[in-house]
Structure 1
Amino acid sequence: MVIKTYGGFLISQIKQLQGRVFERMLKESGIDAFNGAQGRILYVLWEKEKLTISEIGHLTSLAKTSLTSMLDRMEESGLVERRADQNNRRQIIISITDKARNYKEEYDRVSLEMNELFYKRFSEEEIEQFEEMLRRLIQNLEE
């Protein structure tokens, strides 16, 4: 007997809802220079300062094709800079600009607010169990 499951569908629905709510929260807080997906790119760059496109793709799970067009728009709006790697001219390094750094504090505040909404009515133990299960799902998909 096969059990009917809804995990993939529910995760997809959560992703869509979370994206819309987060976009609205960013706009309401005055952050309109980038969208949620671009915020994921900035988030990893706020942590690391400079990364290759491949590294950004790995850390954000964004496909290289979408990533390239997003980085184009982010570069045009002055949020990131592209430079050839000094050691390997074929490798492009993406770095964060001062303009993007100025958004970090407000973005962190909105992220914290989103996190509180996300885990409302969850105990700490439930949060830990839930996140461990999500890590296992990711591991299953990466194998």
Structure 2
Amino acid sequence: MTSYAEELILPRHNSLGWLIAVSGKQLAEDLDQRLKNIGLSIGVWPTLYALWEQEGLTQTELAERCMTAHYTTTRTLDTLEKMGLVERHPHPTSRRALQIYLTDQGKDLRHSALQQAIACNSDYLARLSHAEARTLIQLLNKAVGTEI
């Protein structure tokens, strides 16, 4: 007897991993093109998004939220700092940690960047009904353990 997961491996259009990989690639490429219209890229998107949700995070906290390696976060912050979008400030209780804050320019990009992401998501989900799209998001959150 085969498990449900084994039944879903072949053909590839039944494979969760393949479908997620294809979806992620399509969404990332589309969002990257849209972000380029406002001077950003997909590489800085997770960090900016996390800072729009909450400023003052340390580099370690950002790396955890973005699920990136510490050195990747360092390079991304270097890029964002050169672009004039973030600033590093000394942490009030730790001599080694720095807190990351958006500049006014970084804050000003929030609306236009989120509009690009909304348009990207809307285009991608256009084949689904509103209820199906909500269900898909709920199920993906459940599968990755971030139920809301």
Aligned: 1:3 with 2:10: no
Deviations 1:89-139 (A, max 9, x none): 122211111111121121122122112112102122212221122112212
The structure with more radius of gyration: 2
Aligned: 1:129 with 2:135: yes
Contact 2:88 2:100 in 1 (8 A): yes
Q: Percent identity between the aligned chains?
A: 26
TM-score (norm 1): 0.85
Aligned: 1:73 with 2:82: no
Query: What letter corresponds to residue 31 of structure 1 in structure 2?
Result: I
Deviations 1:66-86 (A, max 9, x none): 111111111122111112202
In structure 2, how many angstroms separate the alpha carbons of the residues matched to 1:25 and 1:84? 34
Determine the structure 1 residue equivalent to 2:42: 36
Alignment RMSD: 1.8
Question: Among residues 7, 17, 20, which one is paired with 2:29 in the alignment?
Answer: 20
Gap runs ≥5 in structure 2: 10-14
Tell me which stretches of 4 or more aligned residues in structure 1 moved more than 4 Å. none
Return the offset for 1:50.
1.7
